[in-house]
Amino acid sequence: MTESSDLRLKRMPLNNGRGNMPALGFGTLIPDPAVTITATRGALEAGFRHFDCAERYRNEREVGEALQAGLAAEGIAREEIFVTTKVWNSNHRPERVGPALEGSLDRLRLKYLDLYLIHTPFAFQPGDEQDPRDQSGNVIYDNGVTLLDTWRAMESLVDHGRCRAIGLSDIGLNELLPLYESARIKPAVVQVEAHPYLPETALLEFCKEKGIVFLAFAPLGHGMRPGLLEDPVISAIAARVGKTPAQVLLAWAIQRGTALLTTPKNAARARENFDISALPEDALNEINRIQTRERLNLVVKTGIPGFIPQGG
C-alpha cells in the first residue's frame, strides 16, 4: 500500500506552507488524569502522531508527561508529532493570549506548538476562572473584546515563532467568513463537530476552497449509544468490509477530505482506531445518504462545552 492510499498515514497540507498535519488525530478530552496518561501513551504506541489538547481540558500536564515519556521510550523526535492546544474563552483579551500559550507550553513540556486554536468564538469574563457565572448561574460573557482582536494576538504568536499555525474551533461559516477576510494570517485549521449525522457540508466546501484543514471532532458521535456506532447503515457496511463500526466512521471522515480527532481510552481501542483502511465508493455513498441529523455538542452555540446527554 502506498503512503498516499494508506489512510493511517494521510497528511493534510497547511495553507501557510509550513508543513502538514496527520489526518488521523488523537483527542485528549479525557476527564480522568490517570486515564489521560495511559490513553495518550497507548495512542502514541498505536501510531497516532497528532495530539489535540486544550487548556480547558485541565490535563495538559498529564498529556505532556505522557508525550515526553512516550517519545523517549519509542525513540520518536518532537518534529515527528503534531501538537495542538487551544486558548480558552476567558483568555480572549489580547494581553492574555500570549501568557495562555506560554502556560500551555509549560504544562505540555514543549518549546513550540504546531497549532494554536481559539477554542470557541465566545469571550468569557477575562480571568483565571474558566467558567465565570453570575448569581443566577448564567455565564458572564465579555463584550469588551472581538474575535478579530483575539485573532490579531494569535497572529503575533506566529510572528514570534511560538506556534507554527493558528486556527479556530466551534465556529460556523457566518463568523468564519468575516474573520477570514480580515485575517492577515489566514486560519489554517477549523475544528468542529462532524460525523454522518452532522456533515457540515457547506463549511467543508468553504474550507476545501481556501485550503483550510477541516478537523472533525466526535467522528464516532462521541461514542454515544444509541447513536452512530449502532446505526444500521454503518453496522451493515462494517460487516460487509470486515471492519468495526468505529473503523468505518473514521475511514469515511478521512476519505471525504477531513482530518479527525478520536479518543480511544485504552490501548486496544487505540490500535483499532488507528487500523483503518479505505472503504469502497458504494459504501461512502451509502453513508452520505444517511438522513439523520443531530448535533451532540452545543458549544458552538454558547461557548459552554459539553455533549448533550442522550435520552434513554
Ligand X SMILES: NC(=O)c1ccc[n+]([C@@H]2O[C@H](COP(=O)([O-])OP(=O)(O)OC[C@H]3O[C@@H](n4cnc5c(N)ncnc54)[C@H](OP(=O)(O)O)[C@@H]3O)[C@@H](O)[C@H]2O)c1
CB of 258 to ligand X, least distance (A): 12
Please identify which residue in 10, 41, 49, 222 interacts with ligand X, judged by CB under 6 A: 222
8 binds ligand X (CB under 6 A): no
Please identify which residue in 52, 60, 62, 65 interacts with ligand X, judged by CB under 6 A: 52
- Binding string, residues 161-180; x marks residues near ligand X by CB under 6 A: --------xx----------
- Binding string, residues 265-294; x marks residues near ligand X by CB under 6 A: x---x--xx---------------------
First to last CA, the chain: 43
CB atoms within 10 A of CB 135: 5
CB of 104 to ligand X, least distance (A): 14
Of the candidate spans 131-139, 141-149, 197-205, 261-269, the one that interacts with ligand X by CB under 6 A turns out to be 261-269
263 binds ligand X (CB under 6 A): yes
Please identify which residue in 93, 231, 262, 286 interacts with ligand X, judged by CB under 6 A: 262
Whether 15 contacts 210, CB under 8 Å: yes
Which CB, 121 or 264, lies closer to ligand X?
Answer: 264
186 binds ligand X (CB under 6 A): no
114 binds ligand X (CB under 6 A): no
CB of 75 to ligand X, least distance (A): 26
CB of 84 to ligand X, least distance (A): 8
Q: Sort strands 24-27 and 50-52 into parallel, antiparallel or unpaired.
A: parallel
Positions marked catalytic: 57
Please identify which residue in 42, 64, 187, 219 interacts with ligand X, judged by CB under 6 A: 219
Which CB, 227 or 281, lies closer to ligand X?
Answer: 227
Number of residues this chain uses to bind ligand X (CB under 6 A):
27
Whether 176 contacts 200, CB under 8 Å: no
Which CB, 255 or 273, lies closer to ligand X?
Answer: 273
246 binds ligand X (CB under 6 A): yes
Name 36's Cβ contacts closer than 8 Å, sequence gap at least 6.
28, 30, 59, 62, 63, 66
* CA dihedral over 203, 208, 212, 213, signed as positive or negative: positive
CB of 276 to ligand X, least distance (A): 10
- Length of the chain equals 312
φ, ψ for residue 191 (rounded to 5)? -105, 120
Report the interface residues with ligand X, using CB under 6 A: 27-29, 52, 169-170, 191, 217-223, 229, 246, 261-265, 269, 272-273, 297, 299, 305
